[in-house]
Every structure is written in structure tokens, then in C-alpha cells.
């Protein structure tokens, strides 16, 4: 059975060797899965991933290939145990009419946070379909699978109305795949406009054309000509939004990321969520344990780096303007302060937005980010990329 699994991983373009496959078989023969409760799909998944995948950037591909090959095996799992938070099932979602939505009151930031604190103190049981307590399927500003124009999402797998100002869950994001094979070279061509070469360094590059001419003029005696090696001098600092509403744009951002890594020799990248605050990270699986202070990033790279933000800028305005406005933690300073610090530290900057340009005017947060970027926001289209590269190349 596992030989077909091996070929499934290879078909998914995972770099799995026969040696790693044999290590997995040896581990199974040694009874690694026999202790601590016996074999299970979950335990085999972690063993196979550990043995076969050496690069964390490939975990997403492994997950998809594993799920595709073992589809249906999960039906053997034990569902006799009580499921936690079963009251959060999506069957409780409500479809409200425009009139009902318009009648729901939108709280301000201070009122929203103070009211949530009171609800935690008052509530002793679960609630469904209400308009006041923390529950599901209702119009309360606190809970899941309901509707409120501006609330705090608690216990929901992903956003539905894109109106939550805070998310009371620890969410897991995945790194963008920088090895994605592009179906077109157009993105690379657009990014190439930013590249600048200069003659510098030691004489260590062969000038083939001049060598041929000199050899011919020298009656066939070899006359080697050297020129200074060409160096790509452009330096790029790439800050990418990940998770939440950016999930809709993963494929296009992966194409951009892959193209950027192949075109720019000096490329540094970090992730953020919705807006940049006091820290960023390089690995989404370790974003809580391996944080990079934004101040350190500003100090580490000098001002000749071109700063490129990639994000849909779709969030609550509080996330940009309000201390504590982040959907995930209580940031001491608003995101606007950090955006201004970054653009001041790196004078040549631009924001690439994968959201269709036609909806920009309907998103208050996009207007705020545009203002902070001095209108240097470009759509993630070929024309938009070319415009951004021309601006950064000046």
C-alpha cells in the first residue's frame, strides 16, 4: 500500500527520495506506532511527515497529498467521545434581510470591549440565536455564525462577513510556497523592471565576444578577455499579509513570491497579519515562538532596500488606528504608527493589493492604508506590478 503512497507524494512534486521512504518502512517495522495506544491515522501522519519531508515549506503539499491518498480512512476514527463546542455548528447560521441587518446597532471600540467584559462575568451557559450574550447564530456582537456589523468573533473557523474587529481564537496560518511553478513568465518580466546591474568587483567574468574578436585578430592565438562581474544591486524587503481574508488570494501571492525569489538576489521577507505591529515573523508554524521585533527589522536593513507590502488591506479600521485594535492581541501602538515608521525608514516603498481595484472604494481600511502609503498602492495585476516597479526604480 505504501509504495502507491510514495508515488502520490512524488506526483505532488514533493522531493521524497527512496532512502527516506525506506526510513519510514524501517520505523514501521520497528513498531514505532505500537506503543502509547497503538497505531492511528494521526500518529502515522506525523511519523510519515517527519521521515519524508525535510523542508517545512513543503508541509502544505504533504497535507494535500496525504488527505487525497487516505481519503475515507478517517471514517474508522472513534466518534464516541463527546465533541467539544458542538453548539458552534454551521447549521445555526442565520440569513438576515437587509432591513434586519440595518437595524442592528454598531458599537464603538470602547463600548464593545467593555460590554464583552461584562458578558463574560454574567454568562453562565451557552446561548443560541440571541442578540445580547456570547453565542451562535444570532445578532449579538459576540460569538460565531451569526451577523453583526462590528463584533468580536469567538469560536468560528473562518470569516464570513469580514466585519469582526477582533478574533478570540489562536489561528494557524501556512507559509506561502516559494517553489510554485509559474504558468506564465509575465510576473517575472514585470518584476525584472526593478533590477539594476552595475559593473563592479574583480575581473573574474569571461567576456566571450571580446575574447573571440581578440583571438581572431591575433592570428588564432588565444587572447582571453575578462570584464568585471555583473552584480544585481537591487535589494528588496518583502512584507506579506497572511491568513484571514488573504486566503482568497493565496495562489496569486504564491506566484508573486515565487517570481520575486527567482528575480531578486537580495530578497528578505517577513509575514504579518492584516497590519504590521511591533513584531513580524518568517515561519507561520512558529509565529508565536519565533518573533522578530519590527524595530529590529528597521535597524537591520538600510534605506537602500525597496520596501514592498503585499496585502489586501481589508480589516477593521480599528486595527489601523486603535491601540489594542489587532484582531489577535492587544498591541500597545496602532498599526498606523508602524506603517509610518517603516515608510520613513525605507523611502522607496509600495503596497501591492490582490483585491480587485473596483472594490477599493468600498473598503474604509483600504482608503486608510492608501493614505498612509501616500497613494502608492497598486493592484496585483501585470499593469499594477509594472507601475510599482517603475516607482521603486526611480
The values of phi and psi at residue 349, to 5°, are: -140, 160
Q: How many CB atoms lie within 10 A of CB 293?
A: 11
- Name the H helices within the chain: 2-11, 18-29, 41-52, 59-69, 98-103, 109-122, 186-192, 208-217, 250-263, 294-300, 318-321, 335-345, 364-372, 382-393
pLDDT at 132 over 70: no
65 and 212 share one domain: no
**Alpha carbons 273 and 320: distance in angstroms, whole number:** 12
Q: Mean pLDDT lowest for which of 113-127, 209-223, 254-268?
A: 113-127
126 falls within a domain = yes
Distances (CA, A) of 187 to 59, 255, 285, 377, 389: 25, 8, 28, 17, 11
Distance, in Å, from the CA atom of 151 to the CA atom of 142, rounded to the nearest integer, reads: 6
Dihedral of the CA atoms 345, 349, 355, 357 (nearest 10)?
Answer: 130
Looking at residue 329, which CATH number applies to its domain?
A: 3.40.50
Same domain, yes or no: 258 and 375: yes
Residue 177 is assigned to a structural domain of this protein: no
Are 132 and 269 found together in one domain? no
| 354-385 tens-digit pLDDT | 999 888 988 899 999 999 999 999 999 888 99
Last residue of a domain, one of 51, 76, 101: 76
C-alpha closest to that of 170 among 153, 186, 187, 150: 153
At 34 the pLDDT is 73
- Confidence (pLDDT) at 104: 46
User: Quick one: pLDDT at residue 16?
Assistant: 86
- In this structure, the answer to whether residues 98 and 161 fall within a common structural domain is yes
pLDDT for 159 equals: 55
Q: Among 189, 238, 186, which residue's Cα sits nearest to residue 349?
A: 238
Helical (H) or strand (E) element with 374: none
Three-state DSSP class for residue 389:
helix
Question: What domain range includes position 265?
Answer: 186-195+233-393
Residue 83 has pLDDT above 50, yes or no: no
Give the sign of the dihedral formed by CA 22, CA 23, CA 25, CA 30: positive
DSSP H helices in 224-331: 250-263, 294-300, 318-321
pLDDT band, very low/low/confident/very high, at 349 (cuts 50, 70, 90): very high
Cβ pair 135, 127 in contact under 8 A:
yes
Last-in-domain residue among 53, 76, 99: 76
Question: Where are the extended beta strands (E) located within 31-186?
Answer: 135-136, 142-144, 152-153, 166-167
Residues 247 and 218 occupy one common structural domain: no
Q: How far is CA 38 from CA 41, 78, 203, in A?
A: 10, 13, 64
Q: What's the confidence (pLDDT) of residue 88?
A: 37
Is residue 175 assigned to a domain?
A: no
Mode of pairing for the β-strands spanning 349-353 and 377-379: parallel
Is a pLDDT exceeding 50 seen at residue 179? Answer: yes
Would you state the pLDDT for residue 309?
A: 97
Residues 97 and 163 in one domain: yes
Percent with pLDDT over 70 in the chain: 65
Q: 153 and 19, same structural domain?
A: no
pLDDT band at 169 (very low <50, low <70, confident <90, very high): low
Query: Mean pLDDT throughout 340-354?
Result: 96
My answer on whether 375 and 276 are in the same domain is yes
DSSP H or E run through 394: none
pLDDT digits (tens, 9 = 90+) for 32-78: 777 666 667 778 888 888 888 887 778 878 888 888 777 644 433 34
Mean pLDDT (the chain, rounded):
75
Number of domains into which the chain is organized: 4
Facing residues of 135 across strands?
143
pLDDT tens digits for range 274-320? 999 999 999 888 888 899 999 999 999 999 999 999 999 999 888 99
Same domain, 254 and 309: yes
In whole angstroms, what is the distance from residue 115 CA to residue 105 CA? Answer: 13
Report the alpha-carbon distance of residue 284 to residue 323 in Å, rounded.
24
Structural domain includes residue 179: no
Give the tens place of pLDDT for each residue, 222-275: 888 877 655 567 899 999 999 888 988 988 898 889 888 888 888 999 999 999
Nine-digit cell string for 357 = 481595484
Residues 317, 368 contacting (CB under 8 angstroms):
yes
Write down the pLDDT at residue 191: 79
Amino acid at each position: 500500500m505504501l509504495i502507491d503512497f510514495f508515488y502520490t507524494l512524488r506526483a505532488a512534486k514533493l522531493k521524497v527520495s527512496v532512502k527516506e521512504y525506506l526510513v519510514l518502512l524501517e520505523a514501521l517495522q520497528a513498531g514505532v506506532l505500537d506503543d502509547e495506544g497503538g497505531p492511528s491515522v494521526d500518529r502515522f501522519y506525523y511519523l510519515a511527515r517527519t521521515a519524508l519531508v525535510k523542508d517545512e515549506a513543503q508541509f502544505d503539499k504533504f497535507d494535500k497529498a496525504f488527505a487525497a491518498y487516505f481519503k475515507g480512512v478517517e471514517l474508522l476514527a472513534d466518534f464516541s467521545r463527546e465533541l467539544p463546542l458542538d453548539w458552534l455548528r454551521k447549521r445555526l447560521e442565520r440569513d438576515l434581510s437587509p432591513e434586519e441587518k440595518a437595524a442592528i446597532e454598531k458599537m464603538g471600540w470602547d463600548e464593545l470591549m467593555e460590554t464583552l467584559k461584562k458578558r463574560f462575568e454574567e454568562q453562565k451557559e451557552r446561548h443560541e440565536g440571541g442578540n445580547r450574550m456570547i453565542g451562535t447564530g444570532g445578532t449579538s456582537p459576540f460569538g460565531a455564525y451569526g451577523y453583526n456589523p462590528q463584533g468580536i468573533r469567538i469560536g468560528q473557523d473562518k470569516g464570513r462577513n469580514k466585519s469582526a474587529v477582533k478574533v478570540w481564537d489562536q489561528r494557524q496560518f501556512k507559509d506561502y510556497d516559494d517553489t510554485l511553478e509559474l504558468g506564465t513568465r509575465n510576473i517575472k518580466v514585470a518584476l525584472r523592471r526593478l533590477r539594476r546591474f552595475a559593473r563592479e568587483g574583480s575581473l573574474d567574468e569571461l567576456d566571450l565576444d571580446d575574447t573571440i574578436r581578440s583571438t581572431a585578430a591575433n592570428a588564432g592565438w588565444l587572447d582571453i578577455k575578462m570584464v568585471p562581474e555583473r552584480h544585481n544591486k537591487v535589494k528588496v524587503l518583502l512584507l506579506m499579509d497572511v491568513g484571514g481574508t488573504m486566503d482568497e488570494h493565496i495562489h496569486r501571492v504564491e506566484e508573486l513570491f515565487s517570481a520575486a525569489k527567482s528575480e531578486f538576489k537580495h530578497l528578505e521577507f517577513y509575514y504579518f497579519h492584516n497590519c504590521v505591529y511591533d513584531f513580524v515573523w518568517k515561519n507561520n508554524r512558529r509565529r508565536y515562538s519565533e518573533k522578530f521585533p519590527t524595530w529590529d527589522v528597521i535597524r537591520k536593513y538600510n534605506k537602500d532596500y525597496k520596501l514592498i507590502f503585499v496585502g489586501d488591506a481589508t480589516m477593521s479600521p480599528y486595527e489601523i488606528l486603535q491601540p489594542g485594535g489587532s484582531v489577535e492581541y492587544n498591541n500597545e501602538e496602532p498599526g498606523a504608527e508602524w506603517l509610518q515608521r517603516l515608510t520613513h525608514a525605507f523611502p522607496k516603498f509600495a503596497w501591492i493589493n490582490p483585491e480587485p481595484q473596483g472594490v477599493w472604494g468600498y473598503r474604509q481600511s483600504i482608503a486608510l492604508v492608501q493614505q498612509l502609503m501616500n497613494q502608492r498602492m497598486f493592484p496585483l495585476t501585470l499593469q499594477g506590478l509594472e507601475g510599482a516597479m517603475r516607482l521603486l526604480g526611480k
